[in-house]
């Protein structure tokens, strides 16, 4: 399973354009990807058994494609998140645990959920812009997400930077 380290930072929506126009994102050593819309629905049991086990289960729509993701070991030390991630293309917005390629991960999710159903907990709808930064021999992806999160009939804005 590939491992990623994420650092997510909340950013004031009024500062997003300033960040987009910052020197580091405008240098010739960056590759910019235009905005894409991402709609993601996160699932858990009513008792939050996946969250309690540091498992994130998500279905995301990007363009016309649907991808199901399982992220594990989400609780990392310090202010970053270190996690393993499995992604599987799926045919629709419906969660399909049989599409998880790793049978051990399938069994782990089934064990953690027990007899409970997996239900949508919240949905995010964001516009994401990405820059791939080259710093010496290192590469860092910088993503700016702006949009909203909806849960229990309530909506809240999202404005964050992810490295």
Residue-wise pLDDT tens for the chain (163 aa)?
A: 445 678 899 999 999 999 999 988 888 668 888 899 999 999 999 999 999 999 999 999 998 999 999 998 744 545 445 557 889 999 999 999 999 988 889 999 999 998 999 999 999 999 999 999 887 888 889 999 999 999 999 999 999 999 9
3-state secondary structure of 119: strand
pTM for the complete prediction? Answer: 0.84
Which residues, including other chains, have CB under 8 Å from residue 88's CB and lie 6 or more apart? 67, 68, 69, 96, 99, 100, 101
φ/ψ of 48, rounded to 5, equals: 60, 35
| Rounded-to-integer distance, Cα 4 and Cα 148, Å | 24
DSSP H helical ranges for 35-102: 49-52
């Amino acid at each position: 399973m590939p491992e990623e380290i994420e650092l997510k930072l909340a950013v004031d929506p009024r500062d997003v354009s300033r960040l987009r126009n910052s020197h580091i994102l405008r240098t010739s050593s960056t590759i910019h990807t235009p905005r894409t819309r991402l709609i993601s629905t996160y699932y858990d049991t009513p008792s939050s058994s996946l969250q309690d086990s540091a498992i994130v289960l998500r279905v995301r729509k990007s363009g016309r494609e649907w991808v199901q993701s399982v992220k594990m070991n989400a609780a990392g030390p310090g202010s970053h998140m270190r996690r393993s991630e499995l992604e599987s293309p799926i045919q629709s917005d419906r969660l399909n645990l049989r599409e998880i390629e790793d049978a051990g991960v399938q069994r782990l999710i089934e064990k953690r959920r027990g007899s409970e159903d997996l239900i949508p907990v919240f949905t995010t709808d964001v516009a994401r812009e990405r820059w791939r930064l080259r710093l010496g021999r290192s590469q860092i992806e910088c993503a700016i997400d702006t949009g909203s999160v909806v849960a229990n009939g309530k909506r809240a804005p999202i404005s964050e930077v992810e490295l």
